[in-house]
């Protein structure tokens, strides 16, 4: 199963403003067969990254959750908020319109990753 890092988003302005900002920012959400909203998948050398939400709509003043889904090649990993002896944890830099704010990242419980002599904490497939 892909790893998920969750973040709560709160809207204070009407949805139309949020929708306009998403479209002008190039973040196009699509509806998949599993009723999950998602942005276009970004591919890196060993990782697929996708922004997803289980909400099909956004209402003014109602928070909603988004997740960063990361699918990595075998034996590749991404670090937790406290990576341990090595590495850097992922960070999300939002460019949100006025009236919309992102909360703190909610990290799932990590796995202990031991690559002698180092011990790190993170996620892998």
User: Which residue ranges make up each domain of the chain?
Assistant: 3-124
The pLDDT confidence band at residue 102, using thresholds 50, 70 and 90, is confident
Rounded distance, CA 86 to CA 18, Å?
38
Question: CB within 8 A of 23, min separation 6: which ones?
Answer: none
* pTM tops 0.85: no
Rounded distance, CA 116 to CA 64, Å?
40
The listed range with the strongest mean pLDDT (4-8, 13-17, 114-118, 121-125) is 114-118
Q: What mean pLDDT, rounded, does the chain reach?
A: 74
Decide if 32 contacts 38 (C-beta within 8 A).
yes
Question: CB within 8 A of 85, min separation 6: which ones?
Answer: 118, 119, 120
């Amino acid at each position: 199963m892909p790893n998920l890092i969750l973040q709560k988003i709160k809207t204070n302005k009407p949805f139309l403003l949020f929708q306009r900002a998403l479209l002008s920012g190039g973040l196009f959400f699509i509806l998949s067969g599993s009723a999950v909203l998602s942005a276009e998948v970004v591919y890196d050398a060993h990782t697929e990254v996708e922004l997803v939400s289980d909400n099909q709509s956004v209402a003014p003043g109602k928070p909603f959750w988004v997740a960063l889904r990361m699918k990595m090649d075998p034996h590749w990993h991404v670090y937790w908020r406290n990576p341990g002896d090595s590495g850097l944890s992922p960070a999300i830099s939002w460019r949100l319109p006025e009236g919309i704010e992102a909360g703190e990242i909610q990290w799932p419980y990590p796995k202990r990753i031991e690559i002698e002599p180092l011990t790190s904490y993170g996620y892998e497939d």
